[in-house]
Amino acid sequence: MRLYDTLTRSDRDLRPIDGSTFRFYCCGPTVYGPAHIGNFRTFVLQDVLRRTLEAGGMRTLHVRNITDVDDKTIRGCHQAGQSLAEFTAGWTARFHADCAQFGCLAPHIEPRAVEHIPQQIAMIEALVAKGHAYAAADGSVYFRISSFPGYGRLSRLDARELDLGKTQNARANADEYEKDSISDFVLWKARRAEDGENFWRAPWGDGRPGWHLECSAMIQEYLGDTFDLHSGGVDLVFPHHENEIAQSQCACGGHFAAHWFHITHLLVDGGKMSKSLGNLYTLDDLVGRGFSAMEIRYVLLGSHYRKPLNFTLDSLSGAREALAKLAKAARQLATRIEGSPRLDAVEFGPFQAAWDSLQNDLNTPGALGGIFTGLREAATLSGDAAAKALAGLNRLLRALGLTLPEAGASDDSAVPADIRALAEERWQLRLARNWAQSDELRAALAARGWVVKDAKDCYTLAPAEP
Ligand code: AMP
Ligand code: ZN
């Protein structure tokens, strides 16, 4: 498949460097509150990329971190009166439950920043030893951007902007900073009173790692110095990903990411989401208004990932109708299959154009359009041709991560699609013997009024007793 690459500004083929497994990294959530649907635009599109590669027969290795130490998580745990570990564990569980409802596959490896402090310290030591980093008087350590000629390539900072940063000899200590301050950035933050108990020992004094460093250190640990693809929302291009490239290439050598996949921001009601405007939606907010995670996922797929997507509540109603229509057409197609046809060839039949759209820069709106066009053609098919078409449709739906509502799903007695998806995700975790996460999802189901009972090789779902 072909995908646009932010670094070279061109569409490029995705092929695993090692010839067998496509190894990729996604910057994960900062766990200081619930993720909003903008965050989920990014996580859902990353999930569709992985699912599409897998549906095309490629093996993947998906690494996504949990940012559980930074300015925001430390501030949050103090406000909540909890330890950092307790505070971030709660929000991590919530994130996992939300992901499962959205039908996002769990990454193969999900490293947490606080569990990789020694690796981060080792990376700073390497950078200091090679002259790319220096300690300041207060015990903080900074990356010297003038020591890395490649700085600014990803985000196309021009020479004037870079010169300004160097001549001002500026330094940024906050975990996030704006594009107009191009400066040496912090690798190790000296301990401050407001950090409380949250500090670690290091050769430069007590402190904690800067935000940018954690991804570089965890990538080195799990993917090495050269890997297939790196991804996040567009806001991460600068400074976060620019800084990751600088740290990793200077400390480890290697090429770092062969491909950069950035998702454009979700807008709500035509603008940025904000608490003060009352339009910062989480999954729970929208479920509370009667919508399901699958309907939100459908809306998130309705716009190409490189274009802004304007989210409205009306678009969710449209998604509900579209999913119901799709489900009905798929059921009708199934009734026209006779016997048990042989499905040896991997074909998409009337859905070929939809699959081609996904292969062409992950064009999800093109794929959804192609599915509806394909369904009109499929309505004329029967027997083996209908069976092949249905298999192609199901493969596409798996690539998009869409679960269709069942007939009568709106009856009170039926299990809602998002609850079913959550239970299914839990069952997969159980099969993988991931007891901790599977228990988290059992609790999430219970919180939403559903009891899950496990048998030897299946499970049942029932509404909780009132
Ligand atoms: P955070 O938890 O803030 O680190 O963000 C998690 C992911 O969501 C990152 O990849 C961000 O780039 C992405 N993100 C943040 N806001 C939005 C938005 N409005 N639309 C799409 N992606 C976003
Ligand atoms: Zn990152």
CATH number, domain containing residue 54: 3.40.50.620
Average pLDDT of the segment spanning 58-76: 96
Residue 168 lies in a domain: no
Rg for the chain, CA atoms, rounded: 24
Task: Take atom 23 of ligand 1 and give the residue whose Cα is closest.
Answer: 39
Q: Are residues 322 and 232 located together in one domain of the fold? A: no
- The answer on pLDDT for 110 being more than 90 is yes
Give the residue-averaged pLDDT of 188-199.
Answer: 95
Question: In terms of domains, do 358 and 376 share one?
Answer: yes
Does the residue 252 lie in any domain?
yes
170 is a domain residue: no
pLDDT of residue 422: 86
**pLDDT value at 92 more than 80:** yes
Region of poorest pLDDT, from 81-90, 121-130, 376-385, 450-459: 450-459
Distance from the alpha carbon of residue 38 to the mean position of ligand 1, in angstroms: 6
Region 217-228 average pLDDT: 98
User: Is the same domain home to 315 and 383?
Assistant: yes
pLDDT of residue 289: 85
The ligand whose atoms approach the alpha carbon of 25 most closely is 2
Q: How far is the CA of 66 from the centre of ligand 2 (A)?
A: 10
User: What integer is the mean pLDDT of 27-54?
Assistant: 97
- Take atom 6 of ligand 1 and give the residue whose Cα is closest: 29
Q: Which residues line ligand 1 (CB under 6 A)?
A: 27, 29-30, 38-39, 41-42, 232-233, 235-236, 263, 265-266
Same domain, 191 and 334: no
CB contact set of 27 (below 8 Å; sequence gap of 6+): 64, 65, 67, 215, 231, 232, 236, 240
Are 35 and 109 in a shared domain?
A: yes
Distance 40 CA to ligand 2 centre (A): 16
Residue 412 pLDDT > 50 = no
- What is the separation, in whole angstroms, between the first and last Cα of the chain? 50
**CA torsion, ordered 201, 204, 210, 212, to nearest 10 deg:** -120
Atom of ligand 1 nearest to the CA of 233: 12
Ligand 1 atom with minimal separation from the 28 CA:
6
Can you spell out the DSSP letters for 272-334?
A: ---GGGT---BHHHHHHTT--HHHHHHHHTTS-TTS-EEE-HHHHHHHHHHHHHHHHHHHHHH
From residue 175, give the alpha-carbon distance in Å to each of 72, 325, 387. 9, 46, 54
Same domain, 75 and 146: yes
Q: Is 80 exceeded by the pLDDT of residue 164?
A: no
Domain end among 375, 400, 425:
400
> Residues 64, 133: one domain?
yes
Q: Judge whether 18 lies within some domain.
A: yes
- Note whether 40 and 155 are same-domain residues: yes
Q: How many domains does the chain have?
A: 3
Domain identity same for 73 and 143: yes
User: Is the pLDDT at 22 greater than 80, yes or no?
Assistant: yes
406 located within any domain: no
Domain boundary among 215, 243, 263: 263
Which residue's alpha carbon is nearest to atom 5 within ligand 1? 29
Res. 166 pLDDT band, cuts 50 70 90: low
Kindly report the CATH number assigned to the domain that includes residue 355: 1.10.730.10
| Residue nearest (by alpha carbon) to ligand 1 atom 11 | 233
Same domain, 248 and 288: no
* Distance in angstroms (rounded) separating the CA atoms of residues 253 and 420: 46
Q: Quick check: is 54 in a domain?
A: yes
The reply to whether 169 falls in a domain is: no
- The SS3 assignment for 196 reads coil
Are 281 and 326 part of one and the same domain? yes
Instruction: Give the mutation target among 42, 212, 301 for probing the ligand 1 site: most ligand atoms within 8 A of CB.
Output: 42
Which domain, by its residues, includes 334? 267-400
Residue 74 pLDDT > 80, yes or no?
Answer: yes
In a domain? residue 211: yes
The last residue of one of the domains, among 263, 280, 297, is: 263
**Closest-lying ligand to the alpha carbon of 231?**
1
276 plus 255 within the same structural domain: no
pLDDT digits (tens, 9 = 90+) for 316-351: 989 999 999 999 999 999 898 887 777 666 689 999
